Amino acid sequence: MLVMAWVLFGLVGHDPWKADEAYTFGIVVDLLRHGDWVVPTLAGESFVEKPPLFYIVSAAAAYLFGGLLPLHDAARLATGLFVGTALLFLGLTAREIYGRGHAAACVMIFISCLGTFVRLHQLITDVALLAGMAIGTFGLALARRRHWSAGLALGTGMACAFFAKGLLGPGLLALTSLLLLSFAPWRTWRYMSILSVAALIAIIPAAIWMYALHARSPELFREWLVVNNFGRFLGFTRIGPHAPPGYYGYTLLWYAFPALPLAGYAVWTAWRRSEADSVRRNMQLPAVLAIVVASVLGFANDSRELYLLPLMLPLSLLAAVGIVWLPAAGANAMSGSARWGFGAAAILIWLGWVVLVTGFPSQLQSLLLDYQPGFVPRMHWIHLALAVCATLVAGTFMSRRRRTSSGHALTQWALGLTLCWALLATLWMPYFDAGKSYRAMIGSLAAQLPRNGCVASLNLGEPQRGLMVYFAKVTTVRLEVAPDARCDALLVQGRRSIGAPPPEAESDWIAVWEGARPGDLKEFYRLYRRDVAPDRALVQFPE
């Protein structure tokens, strides 16, 4: 029930947010409109950054549940499916490696980490990669005693990881599977045959899609393979974010807490204990996988905290041993931190919401509203009821007096973190959505568009192009791609500091609308038209 609550809270109830959710949902909308299963498109243009698995599953969820939920919320149910699959196979892997009793601990550690809960409730392809990595890891664990089922799991995981984000996922699993040959449990002919079966299962569907993509367009195939796989990884293309040296090192300190210290304690204790030889053998798979993922991420040119998600799988598997060996002092510290730390955080979340809704004290409410100018305080009774239920359930369990064990302390930590997340996902979700959503801005912009004819765009980002299709039912024509397009309207994205000027070569554009999301101090948009009078009043949003 705790894991289900962790997965479901925050999965629905807000618009697609910039940047990853917005462009991903734009691709889903295009898939629902055009049904192209080979070449993903965004606002009518080919978008082959990633293979189409997540988009297809998300579009299917939107098609099936779009009548019950808003289309974007229905699409986000695919995230819950992939995250649930990843947690299921993570638990199965822990039970396969360590035996019964470790599966729940491993899953609880995973959902207890401070860096996972936000990303794993977003409409992003990385959740499908996580599910594929979890399935493949289960196959490698199963390979020590099973044959066909191990090959099926490993091959399926590699295929899922490939169709989620390309060559990275299957590359990590393939490198890990080869390095495992260094250890006796995997250095067998049976294991070699398992790898052969897995390779066939993974390569055949991947080859079919790659052939279909190449048959459609060799240029698109090269863009996907060379630019978006090798180019981004090696850094010879200017795509993707770049972080300073050592970024992953200091990010992991909070992102993987408490899995990282528990995993480190497990490795240190297993190395010191002479009687822990069997445990050391069981830790070989997660240790190798952790080294492989960390090394590849460190070598890659792109750096984002989002890319750390696959590393959480082996860290949680190692930490499952650490939580069992945790001494009483550590369990008491973890329990106390959960009860007092998350308890205080939950109280502050409640008090902040009361101030926001009631307006008392008014100075504090004004401060909160200044940070989110587009938010209008009002009571959402369903959100309030869910928040009250979550608080009562968590408070009842965490207030019980019993002898503290490491398992009980871990449960309290996971429950406290889930409570805080549930409160944010219910009480505060409208507040966050008011600043992150483009709905109101695009609605105001759409009222100034011509009824017929095309709308050109300049410097318009991928998230905004996708959301223009969803909120305004308009597919923009990019001047970067079609410079000779003659449209009656032009939408330019700029910055607050420099504005959003039209192309210098054309002087017949009349500005009819300008604005940005309320509270956004960076982005700025201006709409121009040719077919209006020069003295037409300029509409500003927000007014």
Tens of pLDDT, residues 497-516? 889 998 876 678 999 999 99
| Residue whose C-alpha is closest to residue 31's, from 481, 438, 466 | 466
> With contact defined as beta carbons under 8 Å apart, do 175 and 161 qualify?
no
CA 84 to chain centre: 14
| Amino acid at residue number 307 | Y
Which residues in the chain show pLDDT less than 70? 240-241, 505-506, 543
Please identify which residue in the block is written with the tokens 């009483």. 328
Please identify which residue in the block is written with the tokens 């997340």. 421
* CB burial readout 451-484, b (16+ within 10 A) else e: eeebbbbbebebbbbbbbbbbbebbbbbbeeeee
Q: Which two tokens stand for residue 129?
A: 């990669």
- Which burial class, exposed, middle or buried, applies to 200 when counting CB atoms under 10 A from its CB (0-12, 13-18, 19+)? exposed
Q: What pLDDT does 240 receive?
A: 63
Q: What pLDDT does 125 receive?
A: 97
- Which burial class, exposed, middle or buried, applies to 227 when counting CB atoms under 10 A from its CB (0-12, 13-18, 19+)? middle
> With contact defined as beta carbons under 8 Å apart, do 308 and 256 qualify?
yes
**312: Cβ–Cβ under 8 A, 6 or more apart, which residues?**
110, 113, 115, 116, 256, 259
Q: What is the pTM of this model?
A: 0.95
Q: What pLDDT does 244 receive?
A: 79
Crossing angle between the packed helical segments 53-65 and 71-98, to the nearest 10 degrees = 120
Q: What is the pLDDT of residues 3-13, one digit of tens each?
A: 999 999 999 99
| Residue whose C-alpha is closest to residue 312's, from 372, 400, 388, 252 | 252
DSSP annotation of 18 reads: T
Q: What pLDDT does 463 receive?
A: 95
In angstroms, rounded to a whole number, what is the distance separating the alpha carbons of residues 489 and 477? 10
Question: Strands 489-495 and 523-529: what pairing?
Answer: antiparallel
Q: How far is CA 232 from CA 37, 205, 398, in A?
A: 24, 24, 46
**331: Cβ–Cβ under 8 A, 6 or more apart, which residues?**
404, 405, 406, 408, 409
173 phi/psi in degrees, rounded to 5: -70, -40
> With contact defined as beta carbons under 8 Å apart, do 233 and 289 qualify?
no
**Residue by residue, what is the 3-state secondary structure of 94-148?**
HHHHHCCCCHHHHHHHHHHCCCCCCHHHCCCCHHHHHHHHHHHHHHHHHCCCCCH
**Residue by residue, what is the 3-state secondary structure of 404-423?**
CCHHHHHHHHHHHHHHHHHH
In angstroms, rounded to a whole number, what is the distance separating the alpha carbons of residues 171 and 206? 13
In angstroms, rounded to a whole number, what is the distance separating the alpha carbons of residues 7 and 160? 20
Q: Dmax of the chain from CA atoms?
A: 86
> With contact defined as beta carbons under 8 Å apart, do 441 and 17 qualify?
no
**CA dihedral sign, ordered 160, 12, 88, 332:** positive
